[in-house]
Amino acid sequence: MKEKFKAIVNENFEFSLHSKDLEALDVISDNKISNIIYKNKSVAVEMIAADFHKKTYTLSINGSRFQVKIENELDALITKMGLSLGNASVEDEIHAPMPGIILEVNVAEGDKVEKGDFLCVLEAMKMENTLTAPRDGVIKSVNISKGETVDKGKLLIELENND
């Protein structure tokens, strides 16, 4: 099976790769620096940092640094569907991760919430998605009501600024 990959370099350049392209590379590695031989040319590559969960890498090639993000076909499908995985950032705003219908609103303005508390339930693609509080805080505003149809990215609930 020929798997496709996408490499995004410095958030500006995209390269499409197939598994056969990667198989054509000769790699000699000593854990810190790798030499990649491609079409009879050798390039020294040093991995400075790696986040395997997010599939992001910082590489040094000939003294220049590059931020590289690798995506496979599943990652592309998840992005296309409007879903996201592993977003651990703490935010003050809860946005709709995909279009759908609000089935429940479990908070009101001024309510105190703790990280992980259920805020609302969004039905999308015949599945119920419970959106939770990303941090402890106080509800600043609730911009939705039960039965409302929402688009991807709509601001649903806002927490008071944590400053």
14-42: per-residue pLDDT in tens? 888 777 776 767 677 776 677 777 778 88
pLDDT at 104: 94
pLDDT at 90: 52
DSSP symbol at 59? E
pLDDT at 157: 94
User: Could you tell me if residue 49 is inside a domain?
Assistant: yes
Q: What is the pLDDT of residues 61-113, one digit of tens each?
A: 877 888 888 888 777 777 666 665 444 445 788 998 889 999 999 999 999 99
State the average pLDDT over residues 52-64: 82
Query: Residue 131 is encoded by which pair of tokens?
Result: 């959106």
pLDDT at 88: 41
Average the pLDDT over each of 3-17, 28-42, 56-70, 125-139 and give the range with the smallest value: 28-42
Burial code of 23-34, b = ≥16 C-beta within 10 A, e = fewer? eeeeeeeeeeeb
User: Could you tell me if residue 137 is inside a domain?
Assistant: yes
User: Could you tell me if residue 84 is inside a domain?
Assistant: no
pLDDT at 139: 95
Q: Which domain, by its residues, includes 125?
A: 90-159
Q: What is the DSSP string of 4-29?
A: EEEEEETTTEEEEEEHHHHHT-EEEE
pLDDT at 144: 96
Claim to verify: residue 154 and residue 99 sit in the same structural domain: yes
Claim to verify: residue 8 and residue 32 sit in the same structural domain: yes
Residue 54 clears pLDDT 90, i.e. is over it: no
Distance of CA 113 to the CA centre of its chain: 25
Claim to verify: residue 94 and residue 53 sit in the same structural domain: no
Residue 158 clears pLDDT 90, i.e. is over it: yes
Specify the number of domains making up the chain. 2
